[in-house]
Amino acid sequence: MAVEPTLRSWEALFAERTRGGAGEGLLQILAMAGAKDVISFAGGFPDPVTFPGPALAEILRELAERSDASPFQYSPTEGLPGPRDYVADRLERVDGRRPDEGELMLTSGAVEAMELVGKAFLDRGDRVLVEAPTYLGAIMAFQSFEAVVEGVPLDEDGLAVDELERALASGPAPKLLYTIPDFQNPAGVSLSAERREALVELARRHGILVLEDVAYRELSFADERPPSLWSLAPEIVVQAGTFSKTFFPGVRLGWAAGPAEVVSKLVWAKQNTDQCAGALGQRLLEEYGRRGHLDEGLVRARALYRSRRDAMMAALERHVDGASWTRSEGGFFTWLELPFGVDAVAAAGRALEAGVAVVPGPPFFAAGGGERYVRLSFSRADEAEIDEGIRRLGPLLS
């Protein structure tokens, strides 16, 4: 006998943690970034010209022909030993500190590291501090564990550590501070060396975990880099990193480096998330990196994004009046503050009608705000498109 379907609202069945609209913001960004016939300053996507070509095809063929089954098998949850060793070597080179045994795991991208930290640390109602503005994916990851996500302002030197001190001194003790110290998404600013010292001191004093997201750290336009928070305070910092911007995002590969006790809890959390990052991607990274291709590609990528940053700064000077913007020394983004009375969401809508995709500020704020800000990414459009796109935006942003 046929059973009549019962008409019901899925809303009534969805878990509490799915309520709240932050996810829609990300979906819109991803949709806009892929739109055709539009000059896109929207997503934080690397330019496909930076993706590996024939060298990767060669490695893939070699891996397929070898008797070693590891690229095609499940991997240990913390990652295969060879690729982990490669990432540890990189960290030693970039950050001047090599993670000890048990202090490093590979993840399916940096966003998974945030998810694992959320799963391992956050109970409903726990307070999490983030920058205001910050990466939308992080806000979503923490909110999905029903945490109370609170923004701390930033300025041209990164997170305002005096504001952080005030936030730590009031209300229930937060468990976690999430920060992007290098070429921040969306603001493009970096945390000064002095503030890095002050931040870790404060975190030590208050006994909170710092989750440091270094997504753009290796895409700097200068040779000098301030120390990572993880290298300054490895006993209280988990560093989440990604190969999405330096290798390619389709590989879905990143890392978490932190205190061994914390990393073992993240490995526990990963066992029932996806069990392990894809072994094939891990082995491709190891071989590609060990043969020097990743470093060669990075030199080209830095030059490419630097030239686009310069083109965007010049175009903004040329075409936009009354707004101000940040000048990033690395990464993908500049952050515009619009004149009073110009609404960023309405301006972004009009921009799309003019064939230019930008992201208005509100989705980057955990607890409201951002109506006068717009994020522009210079990673995907070439110099001529940047000038044309900003020329069209000029009258809409002033």
Residues that bind ligand PLP (CB under 6 A): 44, 109-111, 135, 137, 180, 185, 213, 215, 242, 244, 249, 254
* C-beta of 46 vs 319, nearer to ligand PLP: 46
Beta bridge partners of 336: 325, 374
Residue with smaller CB distance to ligand PLP, 111 or 159? 111
Residue with tokens 């490695």: 59
Whether residue 96 contacts residue 232, with contact meaning beta carbons closer than 8 Å, is answered with no
Nearer to ligand PLP, 77 or 319 (CB): 77
Regarding beta strands 104-107 and 359-360, do their DSSP bridges make them parallel or antiparallel, or are they unpaired? unpaired
The structure tokens listed for 97 are: 């500190």
Closest approach of Cβ 138 to ligand PLP, in Å?
A: 7
Q: Which of 281, 287, 286, 217 is nearest to 251 (CA)?
A: 281
At its nearest, how many Å lie between ligand PLP and the CB of residue 362?
Answer: 17
CB nearer to ligand PLP: pick between 185 and 190: 185
Residue nearest to ligand PLP according to CB distances in the complex = 109
Structure tokens given for 118: 């959320």
Enumerate helices (H) and strands (E) in the chain, giving the number of each: 14, 14
Which is closer to ligand PLP, CB of 254 or CB of 320?
254
Q: Is the CB of 111 or the CB of 256 nearer to ligand PLP?
A: 111
Give the SS3 label for residue 11. helix
What is the nearest approach in angstroms of ligand PLP to the Cβ of residue 238? Answer: 13
In the structure encoding, which two tokens stand for residue 114, read together?
């945030």
Cα–Cα dist 101/6, whole Å: 54
Min CB(336)–ligand PLP separation in Å: 18
8 A C-beta contact, residue 331 and residue 182: yes
| Least CB distance to ligand PLP at residue 146 (A) | 21
| Minimum distance from residue 181 beta carbon to ligand PLP (Å) | 11
